[in-house]
Amino acid sequence: MSAEATTPVIAEVPSFAVTLMVRRYNPEVDSEPKWQDYDLTMYGTDRVLDALHKIKWEVDGSLSFRRSCAHGVCGSDAMRINGRNRLACKTLIKDLDLSQPIYVEPIKGLEVEKDLIVDMNPFYQAYRDIKPFLIASDKPEKERIQSAADRERFDDTTKCILCAACTTSCPVFWTDGQYFGPAAIVNAHRFIFDSRDEAAEVRLDILNDKEGVWRCRTTFNCTEACPRGIQVTRAIAEVKQAVLRGRA
Amino acid sequence: MEIVIETPNSPRKRKGANWEKYGWMYMRISGAVLIVLIFGHLIVNLWDKGVGAIDFAFVAGKWTNPFWQVWDVLMLWLALIHGTNGMRTITNDYAEKEWVRKTLNITLWVVCGALIILGTLVATTFDPCIDPNAVNYLPTVCK
């Protein structure tokens, strides 16, 4: 049998032209961030992250952005795409409006370090402040047993990947950087409603702060931004109710 | 990389007492009561003859009844405090300098307090038969 006979005919993958407007900022050269446009040929299976890779690898190696797993799990590449916070690795280019350029900028409310990279420290500080670890006094021989129903109680908030899409979509966080922000409250919720944890009151007391849950204005930006589909505003509301009760 | 959690389990530094919880509760409770009070007010004042029927005699006539005095004073207090607290929240969001924030907040509460005192004074010390010569403009109780 000849090689030609066994080779199946593969049709060319359809491609399309797309313009990417990227918010660029180099602190060593620029005084202000500026938009820069890139004309690219992309395919139906490409995501915004692939477009950024194409720019970095083939057009301009100085473009800086964070990414790690590239599959929506690590939460590194949250950015503002066409005005909405999304993960670049979970946003297919073909799903965006291609009649106009695609605008890519860093997430808002945190200081831009370079191009699409922001200083995540204030975000992580709020996360640390709510004690994101199990606090339990018992020392069981084996694992701590939990019923399926008790596990279900906080299942939604275990999905958080700390990408900061929610916190940096929150208008209160934009103007008041001291606010704990949705992500910290979501992660507090994960432990407050965990039947194995014993420090719910401690965390509720922390979130009863001036910059705590009462800052939330229920605009639902966070719920809309979450790439994991967590009902963030609902979780915040449940924490508010728990603060009022004084227990989980 | 080593992950360091600085002083785990140490209490977070607090900046004095805070009333945010009570503020939040007040906004919800007063909001619910205000819906009843304001729509009741609008219906009673406007339903029958429209805005043209509201004159001195109409308002004065209403305030001869303690029920409407309490209704209106309650509406005044709840709405002013509700609105001022809402404005305080916005100030806290947008005022970047501490002295600007403090000045705006103090101004807000002073204005709110003054309006509440004046409004309460008017509603409670009101004389419906203010001028015996102008009987045609006064409520029927004065005739």
Query: What pLDDT shows up at residue A245?
Result: 93
| Cα(A243)–Cα(A180) distance, integer angstroms | 15
Which of A169-183, B67-81, B99-113 has the weakest average pLDDT? A169-183
| Cα(B60)–Cα(A146) distance, integer angstroms | 67
| Cα(B20)–Cα(A213) distance, integer angstroms | 9
Confidence check: pLDDT of A21 > 50: yes
**Any idea what the Cα angle at residue A215 is, between residues A213 and A220, rounded to 5°?**
85
Distances (CA, A) of A11 to A8, A14, A15, A88: 10, 9, 12, 28
| Cα(A63)–Cα(A108) distance, integer angstroms | 18
Query: What pLDDT shows up at residue A13?
Result: 79
Q: Which pair of tokens denotes residue A178? A: 């001291």
Q: Which pair of tokens denotes residue A86? A: 């999304």
8-state DSSP, B97: S
Query: What pLDDT shows up at residue B96?
Result: 82
pLDDT confidence band for B18 (50 / 70 / 90): confident
Query: What pLDDT shows up at residue B13?
Result: 55
Strand pairing class (A102-105; A15-24): parallel
Query: What pLDDT shows up at residue B1?
Result: 53
| Cα(B139)–Cα(B143) distance, integer angstroms | 8
pLDDT confidence band for A148 (50 / 70 / 90): very high
Amino acid at position A152, single letter:
E
Task: Enter the CATH code of domain A15-118.
Answer: 3.10.20.30
Distances (CA, A) of B114 to B81, B97, B100: 12, 26, 21
Query: What pLDDT shows up at residue A222?
Result: 97
Residue corresponding to tokens 């308002």: B59
| Cα(B34)–Cα(B40) distance, integer angstroms | 9
Which of A128-132, A226-230, B14-18, B110-114 has the weakest average pLDDT? B14-18
Contact list in B for residue A217 (CB cut-off 8 A) is 89
Whether this model's ipTM surpasses 0.85 comes out as no
Greatest Cα pair distance in chain A: 78
Mean pLDDT, rounded, for B1-25: 66
Contact list in A for residue B6 (CB cut-off 8 A) is 128
| Cα(A128)–Cα(A74) distance, integer angstroms | 18
A206-227 pLDDT, tens per residue?
A: 999 988 999 999 999 999 999 9
How is the beta sheet containing A15-24 ordered, strand by strand? A34-43, A15-24, A102-105, A78-81, A84-87
**Any idea what the Cα angle at residue B6 is, between residues A163 and A171, rounded to 5°?**
35
Mean pLDDT, rounded, for B120-126: 92
Residue corresponding to tokens 């060319």: A12
pLDDT confidence band for A12 (50 / 70 / 90): confident
Mutate to test the interface with B, among A175, A179, A218 (most CBs of B within 10 A): A175
CATH superfamily of A121-245: Alpha-helical ferredoxin (1.10.1060.10)
Could you give the domains of chain B?
Answer: 22-129 (1.20.1300.10)
Q: Which residue has the higher pLDDT, B49 or A229?
A: A229
Query: What pLDDT shows up at residue B8?
Result: 47
- A243/B15 Cβ within 8 A: no
Which of A131, A217, A243 has its CB closest to that of B21? Answer: A243
Mean pLDDT, rounded, for A63-91: 97
Confidence check: pLDDT of A30 > 90: yes
Kindly report the average pLDDT of chain A as a whole number. 94
Query: What pLDDT shows up at residue A118?
Result: 96
| Cα(A106)–Cα(A10) distance, integer angstroms | 39
- A209/B12 Cβ within 8 A: yes
Residue corresponding to tokens 């402040």: A129
Asked whether A189 and A239 are in contact (CB, 8 A), the reply is yes
DSSP secondary structure string for all residues of chain A: --HHHHS---PPPPEEEEEEEEEE--TTT-SS-EEEEEEEEEETT-BHHHHHHHIIIII-TT-----SSSSSSS---EEEETTEEEEGGG-BGGGS-TTSPEEEEPPTTS-EEETTEE--HHHHHHHHHT--S-------SSPPP--HHHHHTTTGGGG-----TTGGG-HHHHH-TTS--HHHHHHHHHHHT-TT-S-HHHHHHHHTSTTSGGG-----HHHHH-TT---HHHHHHHHHHHHHHT--
| Cα(A21)–Cα(A82) distance, integer angstroms | 10
> Which residues in B have their CB inside 8 Å of a CB on A?
5-6, 8-9, 12, 14-15, 18, 20-21, 23-25, 89, 92-94
Contacts of A73 (CB under 8 A, 6+ apart): A161
**Any idea what the Cα angle at residue A241 is, between residues A236 and A243, rounded to 5°?**
95
Query: What pLDDT shows up at residue B140?
Result: 80
pLDDT confidence band for B9 (50 / 70 / 90): very low
Mean pLDDT, rounded, for B84-94: 92
β-partners of residue A24 are A34
Which of B9, B14, B93 has its CB closest to that of A176? Answer: B93
Contact list in A for residue B94 (CB cut-off 8 A) is 175
Q: Would you kindly state where each structural domain of chain A is located, as residue ranges?
A: 15-118, 121-245
